[in-house]
Amino acid sequence: MRASNLNVHSGKTIVTLLIAGAILAGGTPVRADANLTVYARVGNPMPSDVVPHGPGLILMGGGNTVDPAFAWMHDTIVGSHWKRGGDIVVLTASSGDEYTDYIMKIAPFNSVRSIQIGPDATQADLKRAASYVDVAQGVFFSGGDQAHYVKWKGSALIAAVQRVYDRGGVVGGTSAGLAILGEYAFDAVAEDKVGPDVNTTTANAMADPSESIISFTHDLFEFPPMRGILTETHLVTRNRLGRFIVFLARLSADSKTPLLGVGLNEHSALVVDRNGVGTLMLEHHSGEALLVRLTKPAPIAKGIPFSAHKVLITVLDREGQKFDFRTWHADARSSFIDVDGSKPPYYTPADPYVPPTPTS
């Protein structure tokens, strides 16, 4: 999946700062070249002195942003709802400076800065970006194409983001930025090698679960709550549950440990606190998170439609519902579905995106 169509709710405001002796406006690059654009820091030009109270993670499903998740980011970093603090870096491979002013409006952060990194960025470019991350308490990955992000594996920038989490900061992402946060990531690298408009859908994954455009990256980060986790984005809006189950089946064939799929729909976020407990947050009170686990082997055979029996589905669709990433226990009902890739719409029951009734 290349994620797209990210929308922030708040319009831009121009914020001026005195940086290096020059007046700069939000949206104006401090430095820019073909592969690295560092936008002006918006907010306080002096660094925040807060010691972050996390660590924490934001798993956001794409589409419109989830305002309460950014407020939670602030509160987790600062340890207070009202105190100003926390320096945030937004990392993007595609979306420029669209988040900076929006995030500053959500909560009293000390500052926000965006950095856009091109697909041909060098290790020196990534090292320069890392120098900004190393003085931040929060990092947020925008959407776009996760194939660009996974190229950074092993770089100084990925190490700097890991250090933000390790010292108690918050790391999050939406859409493509969510896709890279699990132990396993569907990376879209094989798709990109075929062409820019090639996408894995539920339909083609169901028809041939072995197809070569499906590829993964392992251990881009080491976030303890995300061990054994594969994430998925735009889950309901783009009917991605079928392909998500195929991804889990392919990874399960090679993994010796249990795997869990955590899928987020648009308008939805799971925020994961320092104890590994996730809380569902929704924009406009609508959205879902699905927890998906195979209970039986689901063989992958080239050219043979995919099938799986007794796939365990847990649906979170109410604000405040909890999921414990340490125990994989949720305060929500679960049910089993069967998947038959030869018979659209593939699922029995037909709509697996809704919670089971109390009697089930």
Our separate counts of H helices and E strands in the chain read: 9, 22
pLDDT at 34 over 90: no
The whole-angstrom distance between residue 310's C-alpha and the CA centroid of its chain comes to: 27
On the 0-12 / 13-18 / 19+ scale of CB atoms within 10 A, 116 is buried
Domain that holds residue 240: 16-348
Confidence of residue 13 (pLDDT cuts 50, 70, 90): very low
Q: Domain for residue 6, yes or no?
A: no
Q: Domain for residue 1, yes or no?
A: no
Torsion of CA 193, 199, 203, 206, to 10 degrees: 40
pLDDT tens by residue, 106-163: 999 999 999 999 999 999 999 999 999 999 999 999 999 999 999 999 999 999 999 9
pLDDT at 174 over 50: yes
Q: Domain for residue 147, yes or no?
A: yes
Q: Domain for residue 83, yes or no?
A: yes
The pTM of the full predicted model, rounded to 2 decimals, is 0.91
By DSSP bridging, strand 87-92 and strand 138-141 are: parallel
The answer to whether 149 touches 141, Cβ cutoff 8 Å, is yes
Q: Domain for residue 278, yes or no?
A: yes
Q: Residue 121 belongs to a domain with what CATH number?
A: 3.40.50.880
Confidence of residue 9 (pLDDT cuts 50, 70, 90): very low
Confidence of residue 8 (pLDDT cuts 50, 70, 90): very low
pLDDT tens by residue, 222-271: 999 999 999 999 999 999 999 999 999 999 988 878 899 999 999 999 99
Q: What's the average model confidence in pLDDT over 186-211?
A: 94
User: Measured between alpha carbons, how far is 31 from 44 in angstroms, rounded to an integer?
Assistant: 19
User: Measured between alpha carbons, how far is 231 from 216 in angstroms, rounded to an integer?
Assistant: 11
Q: Domain for residue 7, yes or no?
A: no
Q: Domain for residue 256, yes or no?
A: yes
Confidence of residue 359 (pLDDT cuts 50, 70, 90): very low
pLDDT tens by residue, 280-292: 999 988 999 999 9
Structure tokens at 260: 């869990």
Number of folded domains that form the chain: 1
Q: Domain for residue 247, yes or no?
A: yes
